[in-house]
Structure 1
Amino acid sequence: MKTKLYVQNDRFVAGMTLKDLIAPDENNMALHVTDHPEQVINNRKKLADFLHVELDQFVCANQTHSANFAKVTTADKGRGTTSLQDAIQNTDALYTIEPNIVLSSFTADCVPIMFYHVKCGLIGVVHSGWQGTVKEITRKLFHHLVKEENCNPEGFFVYIGSAINQEKFEVDEDVNKKFAALGYADEFIKYNAQTKKYHIDNQKIVKKQCEMEGIWSAQIFIDSTCTYKSDDGFSHRENKGTGRHLSFIMRK
């Protein structure tokens, strides 16, 4: 199982799967972008084996580039693992305070965020493509966790997984205006006068959003691997029919 781990200790494990040209369906983990759902389910089972858990401990959402998040409980175990129909609907971030639940997020250029809070025993994942970033899904979730779950922001550790980098993520004026309207993204936007395109560093804008909610910069980690340029990356911008990485986190 071709996987990258960001956290592996006695309490938490977090990481993301990688593209693998010799694996079935290239190690695609998403049921919504495959002609071979049985292969995707088998890939997920291999990930479960790698993590020494059962597949029905995973929880998946049907992501819609929203700013919606959901609190997961033990009753949600197994949702979305073998079928899109019972996944958590219209949701792009999940969190839980329950142990032995593997929260999942699917990306192919979008920014995956995995985080935990030791004192609160809380974990979460976020899918933040450019639409999620301009809708401030990450800020909204952390604001909720501080206010409603009583998590001190200084206790969060955040891992921003690999995504398309600034060089390859180019957009037109309409999308640039949405980022500019945030009021704090300008330093992460470059304009190419020759192509008349704007280049966005979505990962660093997400990091800024975390910092704005009180999370310490030293506890936010960015994987700079570009999903477009890396052989291990699924890139929707490069290939519209590509598979998806699965980013995961679990509290033991």
Structure 2
Amino acid sequence: MKTKVYLNKEKFIAGMTFKDADELESYNMALHACENTENVVENRKKLATFLQCRLDDFVCANQTHSSNFHQVTLEDKGRGASESDTAIVDTDALYTYEPNLVLCSFTADCVQVIFHNEVNGLIGVIHSGWQGTVKEISLNLFEHLKQVEHCNPSDLHVQIGAALSQEKFEVDEDVYSKFKDLGYADDFIYYNDQTRKYHIDNQQTVKKQCEVSGIPAEQITIDQTCTYLSTDGFSYRQDKESGRHMSFIIRKT
């Protein structure tokens, strides 16, 4: 059971699962991309045991590469945990103040953003594929947290999970133009004359969005693992039948 723990201090536990050939479906965590849903449920139960909680404490969304976010309440407990039909619909970011809930997000190349606030106990996860990045889902959520939730961005700590590397994220001009239009991603793009493709660092672009929202750069950490190049990675670019990693965070009482 390969699980990388990014944060385990005081009451916060956060991390990301990775491919493991010894587990069912190589430790795939996605109900929407699996051979057998029972295998995924078993994998999630193993993670729940590791986190010393129950599967019913998980909260999952039906991710659609949107810029939509949702504040999780106790009424959402267990949504999407064992069946996809109950997942929070059309949502790519979750946040909550509630303790003992595991917020979950799923990726196979996309950028994961896991964040917590040690002052007010806020936790959250963001799924930011390239579409979410150009829609500025991270920036939009953090602006919402500042303006509506009165959250001080200097109290936020961010972990950016493993994702597709710049080397392997090659795109045509249509996608390049969307990143170019952001106005702050130029430093994270290069052009390959031989392949006539643009290479974009989605992780660094998302990090920049966090910084623009006011989160101190020194409080943002990036996992440099490439989900395509690593044998522990699930990569949709490499395999359209790929499973998914789960990123998670919980605040324990």
Which residue of 2 is the match for residue 244 of structure 1? 244
TM, length-normalised to structure 1: 0.99
CA–CA separation in structure 2 for the residues paired with 1:7 and 1:118: 12
Over residues 6-65 of structure 1, what are the superposed CA-to-partner deviations in whole Å (9 max), with x where a residue is unaligned?
000121000000101121111000000112110000000000000000000000000000
* Aligned-residue CA RMSD (Å): 0.5
How many Å apart are 1:114 and its aligned residue? Answer: 0.3
Q: Alignment partner of 1:158: what SS?
A: strand
CA–CA separation in structure 2 for the residues paired with 1:150 and 1:251: 20
Segments of 5+ residues of structure 1 without an aligned counterpart are none
CA–CA separation in structure 2 for the residues paired with 1:225 and 1:27: 17
Q: Alignment partner of 2:85: what SS?
A: coil
Q: Which amino acid aligns with 2:235?
A: S
Q: Alignment partner of 1:25: what SS?
A: helix
Q: Alignment partner of 1:32: what SS?
A: coil
Which residue of 2 is the match for residue 221 of structure 1? 221
- Residue 111 (str. 1) matches residue 101 (str. 2): no
Which residue of 1 is the match for residue 70 of structure 2? 70
Q: Alignment partner of 1:31: what SS?
A: coil
Which residue of 2 is the match for residue 206 of structure 1? 206
- Residue 8 (str. 1) matches residue 8 (str. 2): yes
Over residues 56-115 of structure 1, what are the superposed CA-to-partner deviations in whole Å (9 max), with x where a residue is unaligned?
000000000000000001110100011111100000000000000000000000000100
CA–CA separation in structure 1 for the residues paired with 2:82 and 2:250: 19
CA–CA separation in structure 2 for the residues paired with 1:54 and 1:9: 20
Which residue of 1 is the match for residue 186 of structure 2? 186
CA–CA separation in structure 2 for the residues paired with 1:174 and 1:214: 29
Q: Which amino acid aligns with 1:159?
A: Q
How many Å apart are 1:120 and its aligned residue? Answer: 1.6
CA–CA separation in structure 2 for the residues paired with 1:177 and 1:72: 34
Q: Which runs of 4+ in 1 moved over 3 A?
A: none
Over residues 192-239 of structure 1, what are the superposed CA-to-partner deviations in whole Å (9 max), with x where a residue is unaligned?
011000000000000000000000000000000000000110000000
CA–CA separation in structure 2 for the residues paired with 1:112 and 1:184: 20
TM, length-normalised to structure 2: 0.99
Q: Alignment partner of 1:115: what SS?
A: strand
Which residue of 1 is the match for residue 43 of structure 2? 43
How many Å apart are 1:133 and its aligned residue? Answer: 0.1
Which residue of 1 is the match for residue 140 of structure 2? 140
